[in-house]
Amino acid sequence: MLESEVIAMRTGSEPVTARSPLRMRLWLSLWGTAWALFGLVAFSMNGRPGWAAACAVVLLLAVVDLGVITYRMRQGPHYQPGRDVPPYEPDHGDGRPRGPGAGADGGRPGGGRTGTGAP
């Protein structure tokens, strides 16, 4: 790492203050779906098959994105934390346990080992 690089320390409040962009993506995807569908119909009726195919590709991408967005939104607050989800304990970097009930291994599976190798 270069000396000029700055690494921002986590405050531990990121899950509380972070906001999911999924609702914005949902509305933008719906907007894109509507315009792509309009373009597909308009270009098909006016005899422009190339532009109609381009609109069909955009429409397909927008519909797939809608599916991904709805899947992620249905995963619930664990994956999209809101104000009712408490913040995670930040890594202090000095070997202290990460949270309540964490043992000497920092609460990680595998006894706190981060490298590869046999358990």
Give the start-to-end residue ranges of the domains of the chain: 31-75
Distance of CA 89 to the CA centre of its chain: 20
Q: Are 29 and 65 in contact (CB under 8 A)?
A: yes
Per residue in 52-101, pLDDT (tens digit) is 999 999 999 999 999 999 988 887 655 555 666 666 666 666 766 555 55
pTM above 0.75, yes or no: no
For residue 88, what are the CA distances in angstroms to 12, 15, 74, 85, 119?
Answer: 6, 7, 22, 9, 27
How confident is the model at residue 106, as a pLDDT?
47
How confident is the model at residue 47, as a pLDDT?
94
